[in-house]
Amino acid sequence: MQMKPRVLLYPCPVALVTCVDEKGAPNIITLAWVGVASSEPPILSIGIRPSRHSFNLISKTKEFVVNIPTAEILEQTDFCGMTSGREVDKFSKTGLTPLEASNVKPPLIKECPVNMECILRQVIELGTHHLFLGEIVSVHIDSEILDEKGNIDYAKANAICYMPEEYWSSGKKIGSYGLAKPEVDLR
Amino acid sequence: MQMKPRVLLYPCPVALVTCVDEKGAPNIITLAWVGVASSEPPILSIGIRPSRHSFNLISKTKEFVVNIPTAEILEQTDFCGMTSGREVDKFSKTGLTPLEASNVKPPLIKECPVNMECILRQVIELGTHHLFLGEIVSVHIDSEILDEKGNIDYAKANAICYMPEEYWSSGKKIGSYGLAKPEVDLR
């Protein structure tokens, strides 16, 4: 059936994006409008509404960190998307732990096993959201989610999948990239 | 542990993106560098390498369709990412079924329960990938994946989650957007 134009993309990643104001006070915003824009240089896109506090912070300080939460901190993750840093100190209220980043001022979130430090390269005005393109300048991974080869064990990463407007757990591995045999006819 | 800058975003959506050449011959490219850029107007971003056949087709004809596959067509999905439309007729080889779109020339894929017809609005050159921003002008949903209220039943949608470089099934619903109670202290 045909429907009115709307975004119906799933699953979307969930990111806890950290940023700071000009005095260094940190904030956290939960975003699902996040994607990979380029592999090299590594660039992420994040869509943010101009009304959001973090929109102003990132516009001014031009730095942010994309932290990937686990399902264990689902409630804190949802909370950071439902409240404004203008009114609430989200680190204090959620109990999430800020850690110093390597190359940028916004903190990493300790409870997130992957943290990507980004420098803002470009902002594209689109409509309800502006698209911020951030180049990843440093990456941190919690060694607890790595397997013996040093790759991420996604069972341990325990990611949240955003299926608008629901949160889902990740299921099971069903294959690896390159599983198809191009010489075999699939029909 | 700190690592070299690289994209480590998960889960990523998986899209079978259809496009056509100037004579109308269709192609399919599998992409995971896909994200929501804006809710209204509804805009998707897709990152494509300039070397890809679909890069040239979309650059010329400025239309594409983002089709969301199910885990049932995982092998076909992987196949369309491993082969080039310069050498292979992917519809013919995979047995996927093209359906006429409403507003654009590229076909929908019948086996994908969600299809978003897009018109190219902007291309941003970044590095290994260019980011194509497409405005969604029409949406089709297979009514078989809708619940009694007309919302997507994600258990029926049976999405593939891309965890670089693995394919995962979606798990279970663990909550709804807005589950946190802002008045409760979470620490």
- Residue B1 falls within a domain, yes or no? no
- Residue A179 falls within a domain, yes or no? no
pLDDT over 70 at B183, yes or no: no
- Residue B136 falls within a domain, yes or no? yes
- Residue A1 falls within a domain, yes or no? no
- Chain A residues with CB-CB distance to B126 below 8 A: 37-38, 41, 43, 133
Q: Measure in Å the smallest separation between the Cα of B54 and chain A Cα atoms.
A: 16
Q: Measure in Å the smallest separation between the Cα of A10 and chain B Cα atoms.
A: 6
State how many domains chain A has: 1
Cα–Cα distance, B177 to B10 (Å, whole number): 19
- Residue A70 falls within a domain, yes or no? yes
DSSP structure class, residue A118: E
- Chain B residues with CB-CB distance to A175 below 8 A: 74-75, 78, 166-167
Inter-chain CB proximity A36 and B42 less than 8 Å? no
**Is 0.90 topped by the overall pTM?**
yes
pLDDT score for B184: 66
- Residue B182 falls within a domain, yes or no? no
Inter-chain CB proximity B116 and A88 less than 8 Å? no
pLDDT band at A181 (very low <50, low <70, confident <90, very high): confident
User: Domain limits at B100?
Assistant: 15-169
Cα–Cα distance, A113 to A73 (Å, whole number): 11
Cα–Cα distance, B88 to B11 (Å, whole number): 29
Do B93 and B119 touch, CB atoms closer than 8 A? no
Q: Which CATH number fits the domain that encloses residue B160?
A: 2.30.110.10
- Residue B125 falls within a domain, yes or no? yes
pLDDT band at A184 (very low <50, low <70, confident <90, very high): low
- In this prediction the ipTM stands at 0.96
